[in-house]
């Protein structure tokens, strides 16, 4: 999953703009951004621009597999009968997911930095890297969004006690329903326009847009301010993890 996420990030933020500049990918997302959009100065926005949708889908899949796989393999009962409480085991799962999401975000930043440096050298462009503060802010925002989507996947897995159905529903929400609400229904229906301001995807898109992500990337639009966006995404993280823990604690694992 780390390799898939990194490959997706490179494709949408570097390969498509390069292909568009060469005239080989007209009409694809990000294909008309030009070479300047792939240089080191755009590292933060490029690295986190895929998290509201496509890289977020990878995080959802990881969250579902990490928790839902235990139901398919029948290992929840084995683990819980050996002593640890359900909430302790659940906390361990969440910690592992948080570490995995940090690794994903760092890998995307690292490969993006390498790719942008190679492009700058090839084009003879200056390497104007973002400041340390901007990098840390971008990494933190990316980690928050990725962990929230992973917690969403874990919640679905606990609620449905499996892998296939929660994975399918999570991806349908992230890739289809959410985009239809934001891109199609919101401009036409006033209450949907208001509703989207409270959705996790809209606020994730607003957060990465405020940090330089291209509005041409799917799901990226500055609909709210960065502070509100970060607070809403953080609230969803707390809600997803809390509800998942409550369900696991209250229900039978089989």
- Check: CB of residue 61 under 8 Å from CB of residue 107: no
CA–CA distance, 108 with 111 (Å, rounded to integer): 5
- Check: CB of residue 65 under 8 Å from CB of residue 159: no
Q: Quickly list DSSP for 12-29.
A: IIIIHHHHHHTTS-TTST
What is the torsional sign of CA 157, 162, 168, 169?
Answer: negative
Phi, psi of 231 (to 5 degrees): -65, -40
Structural domains of the chain, count: 1
- Check: CB of residue 41 under 8 Å from CB of residue 218: no
What is the structure's pLDDT at 31?
47
What is the structure's pLDDT at 182?
82
Q: 150: which 2 tokens?
A: 């992973």
DSSP state of 40: G
- Check: CB of residue 20 under 8 Å from CB of residue 34: yes
Q: Around Cβ 20, how many Cβ atoms within 10 Å?
A: 21
Alpha helices in the chain, H assignment, sequence order: 2-10, 16-21, 43-48, 54-73, 75-80, 86-123, 132-160, 164-172, 178-180, 190-196, 200-210, 226-250
The domain of 217 spans 2-250
What's the pTM value of the predicted model, to 2 decimals?
Answer: 0.90
CA–CA distance, 233 with 156 (Å, rounded to integer): 17
What is the structure's pLDDT at 84?
77
- Check: CB of residue 153 under 8 Å from CB of residue 167: yes
- Tens digits of pLDDT across the chain (254 residues): 778 878 877 877 777 777 766 555 455 454 445 688 888 888 999 999 989 998 999 999 999 999 988 887 777 777 777 777 888 989 999 999 999 999 999 999 999 999 999 988 988 888 889 999 999 999 999 999 999 999 999 999 999 988 999 999 999 999 888 888 887 888 888 888 888 899 999 999 999 999 988 888 888 888 899 999 999 999 999 999 999 999 988 876 65
CA–CA distance, 239 with 130 (Å, rounded to integer): 33
Q: Is 125 exposed, middle or buried (0-12, 13-18, 19+ CB in 10 A)?
A: middle
């Amino acid at each position: 999953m780390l390799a898939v996420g990194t490959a997706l990030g490179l494709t949408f933020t570097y390969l498509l703009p390069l292909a568009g500049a060469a005239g080989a990918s007209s009409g694809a997302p990000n294909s008309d951004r030009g070479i300047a959009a792939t240089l080191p100065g755009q590292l933060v926005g490029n690295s986190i621009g895929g998290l509201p949708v496509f890289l977020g889908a990878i995080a959802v899949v990881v969250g579902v597999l990490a928790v839902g796989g235990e139901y398919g393999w029948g290992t929840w009962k084995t683990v819980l009968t050996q002593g640890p409480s359900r909430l302790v085991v659940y906390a361990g799962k969440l910690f592992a997911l948080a570490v995995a999401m940090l690794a994903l975000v760092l890998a995307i930043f690292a490969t993006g930095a390498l790719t942008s440096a190679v492009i700058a050298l090839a084009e003879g462009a200056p390497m104007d890297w973002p400041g340390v503060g901007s990098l840390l802010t971008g990494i933190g925002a990316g980690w928050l969004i990725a962990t929230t989507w992973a917690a969403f996947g874990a919640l679905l897995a606990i609620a449905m006690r499996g892998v296939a159905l929660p994975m399918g529903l999570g991806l349908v929400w992230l890739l289809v329903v959410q985009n239809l609400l934001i891109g199609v229904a919101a401009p036409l229906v006033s209450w949907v326009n208001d509703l989207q301001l409270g959705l996790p995807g809209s606020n994730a898109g607003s957060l990465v847009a405020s940090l330089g992500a291209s509005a041409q990337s799917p799901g990226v639009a500055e609909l709210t301010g960065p502070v509100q966006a970060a607070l809403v995404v953080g609230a969803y993280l707390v809600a997803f993890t809390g509800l998942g823990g409550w369900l696991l604690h209250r229900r039978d694992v089989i």
